Amino acid sequence: MLDIKKIYEAKERIKEVVVDTPFSYAPYLSNISGCEVYLKKENLQVTGAFKIRGAYNKIASLSEAERACGVVAASAGNHAQGVALSALKFNIKAVIVMPESTPLTKVNGVKHYGAEVILAGTNYDEAYAYALTYGKENSLTLVHPFEDEEVMAGQGTVALEILEKCEDLDAVIIPVGGGGLISGMASAFKSINPKIEVIGVSAKGAPALKNSFDLGQAIDSTSVRTIADGIAVRDTSKITLSHILGCVDRFISVDDEEIANGILFLLEKQKLVVEGAGAVGVAALLHNKLEHLKGKKVAVVLSGGNMDVTLLSVIIEKGLLKSGRKMNVTVTLVDKPGSLMRFTQILQELNVNIVHIAYDRTSISLEYGDAHVTVHMETKGEEHQSQIKAVLQEEGYLRG
């Protein structure tokens, strides 16, 4: 495992820049999961994610000559902002290579700190390959997001902060992408209190590291696809895998639907904006992936909050539909005066709030003299929706 001395040195090195983020009891999530759950809110960290810890520790540990040359990094966003801010603090040049699909909020976040941004590749691994070549050609020092002991040591400081606030912890749930965060944190936990169970959670759409953990050897995946872009890593790092195999007790994964539910839960119940990568631990608890933790004291790391607002709006809309608070209905009416009014009167009597309505009389699937009406409405849950469907069937608008 990583030397605990390095993690304590990192804590001292980064203390003037990094925030000791809140570690708070989550009563609603505790009640649902049956665990005593505490959230480590790295989404409230400087730059909105834990990555500033490792990035700053790495750059602070470079020689004057290395810093003078400037730095280069590849990142889907959070490491990029961490490197950019760290470079700004040291007044050195920073070039960040980001995948072409990186959300605009993360690109702008990097530019805000004065770094140059290059968009290259369809995922992190392709961006990294470009950064490696670019760095060599321009004599820049590479700041790797996870395959670096100083970076991992910086990430491990999250564990030290948790232990300062909660010594009698039973388990910790940590998001996993490249493995830098869990490598540093697991090393700290196992050095200080080996009884603490360390659990990694990845996205099913980025399975390389979990598959490697299960088989005990490095296995790469051919592609990645997940809404958790912060942990969408295609290839397995042999360096972080060695730490994970030595220090991590359990490794699970959650799918995009479960991650979306976790994001929505944190937004609605905890009043926290957390990106997909940061919500995987909560998703695992919400969907009963860790039944053995019931009755135990559990920490969950919310690793970042740099959420793409476009994706967030989609997640909210889908969440409202799934939870019975919104409903979309398409019916066929006779295209004559009063037909639409009669239909909307029925919805009014059912205490429905119409938020959008579309009227189509030209579709080739329609009989002449008919019209399709699509209504988006706010409802009061599944029971209310069942009542609406029953009445519309009774009135002949919907078939049974």
Alpha helices in the chain (DSSP H): 4-14, 27-33, 51-61, 64-69, 78-90, 104-112, 124-137, 149-165, 180-192, 208-215, 238-247, 256-269, 280-286, 309-322, 339-349, 382-394
Query: CA 127 to CA 263: how far, in whole Å?
Result: 27
Q: Is 271 left (phi over 0), alpha (psi -120 to 50) or beta?
A: left
Find the catalytic residue in 190, 212, 303, 326.
303
For residue 332, count other CB atoms closer than 10 A to its CB: 17
Q: Do residues 23 and 161 lie in contact, with contact meaning Cβ atoms separated by under 8 Å?
A: yes
Residue 303 appears among annotated catalytic residues: yes
Q: Do residues 194 and 248 lie in contact, with contact meaning Cβ atoms separated by under 8 Å?
A: no
Q: Is 375 helix (H, G, I), strand (E, B) or coil?
A: strand
Find the catalytic residue in 51, 210, 297, 326.
51
Q: Do residues 304 and 50 lie in contact, with contact meaning Cβ atoms separated by under 8 Å?
A: yes
Could you tell me which of 178, 186, 148 has the C-alpha nearest to residue 59? 148
Residue 212 appears among annotated catalytic residues: no
Would you state the structure tokens that stand for residue 181, as one six-digit string?
A: 């965060």
Which residue is associated with the tokens 């369809």?
122
Would you state the structure tokens that stand for residue 34, as one six-digit string?
A: 């049956």
Active-site annotation, residues: 51, 303
